[in-house]
Amino acid sequence: MSLTQVYLGLGSNIERELNLRAGLDALASFLTDMRCSAVFESQPVGIKSGPFFNLVVSGFTDLTLMELDRRLKFIEAENGRYAPDRKGLPLDIDVLLYGDLVGNFDGLVLPRAEILKNAFVLWPLSMMAPDRVHPEAGKTLADLWRDAQIDQVLAPVPFEWRGEQLTPPALL
């Protein structure tokens, strides 16, 4: 069984701590060597809502890309993402990188375009994998973050999961 390294972006703007912890617990049930970035508060992009908490998770999986995507949709649904009466976004989980795949896979475009567009994706991703080369941009994630011209304000926030402080005190 071969394992593929994945990077996932998580966000929530409703009961942010509760929903992110539920998402992390669900991911930990099938990702191996799971690591979490610092958690950031950001203003919404593309929707009118309250501020989000965002982070990036890396791990290894034996799931195919489509199986992983289905599993993520199920986790989102379990946390109210598709409820007809929801207000805001309880939990959003996006595949940012799946190994070195590049292209459109049944509507799932990799690498995810938000990596280069949103600070709440690029900053935590660059902290987790600074030397990883973006498969389309051809630059390391650290270089992409350093050179980013993204007009978004992020604020690192304290966040604990399973007894571990995810955001390093130096960022707070």
**93-121: per-residue pLDDT in tens?**
999 999 999 999 999 999 999 999 999 99
Q: What is the pTM of this model?
A: 0.94
Hey, where are the domains in the chain? 4-112+153-171
Determine the pLDDT at residue 83.
58
Measured CA to CA, the distance from residue 26 to residue 49 in angstroms comes to 25
pLDDT reported for residue 44: 79
User: Is domain 4-112+153-171 classified as CATH 3.30.70.560?
Assistant: yes
CB burial string 121-137: b at 16+ within 10 A, e below: bbbbbbbbbeebebeee
Parts of the chain with a pLDDT under 70: 1, 81-86
Question: What does the pLDDT read at residue 89?
Answer: 79
